[in-house]
Chain A
């Protein structure tokens, strides 16, 4: 049995390693990912074992990373691009939105784009500007891109392999503040599907949805709520595009209440889309409007203020209280 306790970061590292072993066409590209092993060490040791042709330290140019990934994909490679931090994806945004996302449709399927864009995202690490952002809505809003956000080592290990094997471009969001969180990972298990949400805690009173770094926060809130006799059902959305809301609808039909939590700013965040869909689909079951907890509609603040900016256990519980008070 190969069950072991792995941090989320190490699980990604092993998942990447396995994907590279399984498919010689997998090529990792990014800034400082080779000798340094990436600033978060997610690619640690991979260049040593797979060589400089498969783990490529790129020039400092994100448009170049994504743009050349397109050409490599046309040659049958499966580029896995690392963007060093969320706030640095924007030089590549043009390539992602105007090219990577649209080439499959433009070519009527003749040019598949099996590109993965790994992005450490979210705040909570006390960093300077551009190192703590949650840009997922920009990508989820772009047809042609798939977007997933992992929350735990097991999903990290399997998810990165599944994303690499997927035929479409996948923006793969890694919750950087959870890189050091550990869990037991069975590397012989059969993983569930990547593009599926999952109920991670059963409950009856309120359905609370989260993804990426907020899953842990919401599970902690559910624990605290349980002590006060309130039972929260927690869904890890996992896939942000396409959304997989059937498990959410099933849950909301039972609880009648729904709260969506994310770090990204509230306005036009994932919560807005989810609230609309849950309302459309579960209108007659709802006892309260779908509530959202998110970052404020401001630039991400200096790190001394990030605790105030980021949703935390108390803000989740506050929303749960408000939902129950309807």
Chain B
């Protein structure tokens, strides 16, 4: 069997579907099947209370509701673009909930679900996509870095941050997010080298969502991504990215190991981008609708709902309440976006340097005078 066949091994065939098939446990860590059945894994057990489970469900449902509203707002011209997380809720919420307050997350541009778990106001994320600012949240206060659009750059930042934690003797870790496409970037490979040679307390969380815009994994790797880790000298774990419990368990363990001085881990979260790459993208050009249909059967939220219902941990009233909360959230976000004031023109100049330089101050003054000329 070639490495490529291994990567796409048929394990749980979905009738008539073209979906990449899920690899098998135990190589794939799964604690909750798509049907909502609880499994045990020899290396990753997790004890979640009923409250915790319900609150995980709530996070998943609310970030999806946020995402749906943002997509609608983009369609109505209120956002310039939106990068949907649809389908990746469990990967993001699971990873985000594994963080402790003192850990630091380094997102790409799609980690709205992680932002949510860090209590970043969704409006601060949406203002970026509206074009009002570059992200309005405080990256240090929230311990959620600003979005990084240049693919892969944040992996080195996370590694350096982790090296800082290490120097300071802080028992915290950094969590770097990246996509499958990003693994091809030189900088990501450098980050893995730095992280391992310095034994930095950083975890690389790669959401393998099957595509880098239109490009499938075959163009980025001929081995499963988690297996690459071995060559760099760090453990690689493949987790069902649509299983919030498994993601939580695996990420928690990796972060704990990092905090304890056991060095970095590479996590591959096997998932699927159910929406377009962004609202500018047209996925019908490069993938079949049947693939999406197949992945819908592995929906990350449905399985938690199934488990909660079946095990009697949540009743219809609970789900109705979460739905209602989602609608309230959506209404608040819509109102917030519609009410966003446009930034003042002088903001172009105001944060370029710690202290405004004389030539820039002059440009700013000319800018102000020029615009006043139109008013008078």
Tell me, yes or no, whether A130 is within 8 Å of chain B by CB: yes
Tell me, yes or no, whether B280 is within 8 Å of chain A by CB: yes
CB distance from B260 to the nearest CB of A (A): 33
Find A61's partner among B128, B186, B342, B374 (CB 8 Å cutoff).
B186
In angstroms, Cα B184 to Cα A63, docked, is 10
**Residues of chain B lying within 8 A (CB to CB) of residue A318:** 370
Tell me, yes or no, whether B35 is within 8 Å of chain A by CB: no
How does the 8 Å CB contact mask read for B268-285 relative to A, with 1 for contact and 0 for none? Answer: 000000000000110001
**Residues of chain A lying within 8 A (CB to CB) of residue B151:** 60, 88
B-contacting residues, A273-313, CB 8 Å: 296-299, 301-306, 308-309
Report the interface size class on chain A: 35 or more
A127-B360 contact, Cβ under 8 Å, with A32-B213, A301-B347, A308-B348: no
In angstroms, Cα B213 to Cα A37, docked, is 12
A-contacting residues, B109-138, CB 8 Å: 109, 128-134
Tell me, yes or no, whether B320 is within 8 Å of chain A by CB: no
Find B359's partner among A37, A87, A297, A305 (CB 8 Å cutoff).
A297
Q: Nearest CB to that of A92 among chain B residues?
A: B186
How does the 8 Å CB contact mask read for A65-96 relative to B, with 1 for contact and 0 for none? Answer: 00000000000000000000001101100000
**Residues of chain B lying within 8 A (CB to CB) of residue A127:** 80-81
**Residues of chain B lying within 8 A (CB to CB) of residue A129:** 134, 149
In angstroms, Cα B129 to Cα A57, docked, is 28
Find B348's partner among A37, A267, A301 (CB 8 Å cutoff).
A301
Tell me, yes or no, whether B214 is within 8 Å of chain A by CB: yes
Find B352's partner among A58, A298, A306 (CB 8 Å cutoff).
A298
In angstroms, Cα B80 to Cα A35, docked, is 25
- Inter-chain contact B150/A60, CB cutoff 8 Å: no
Q: Nearest CB to that of A314 among chain B residues?
A: B374
A-B contacts, 21 listed (Cβ < 8 Å) = A31-B215, A32-B215, A57-B214, A58-B219, A59-B220, A60-B184, A60-B185, A60-B212, A64-B184, A88-B150, A91-B185, A127-B81, A128-B149, A297-B352, A297-B359, A297-B360, A297-B363, A302-B128, A302-B343, A305-B345, A305-B348
Chain A residues within 8 Å of B, Cβ to Cβ: 31-32, 34-37, 39, 57-61, 63-64, 87-88, 90-91, 126-130, 266-267, 296-299, 301-306, 308-309, 314-315, 318
- For the complex with contacts A61-B184, A61-B185, 17 further pairs of A-B residues with Cβ separation under 8 Å are A35-B285, A35-B286, A36-B213, A37-B285, A59-B181, A60-B151, A91-B150, A128-B80, A128-B128, A128-B129, A297-B359, A298-B360, A301-B348, A302-B132, A302-B133, A303-B131, A304-B130
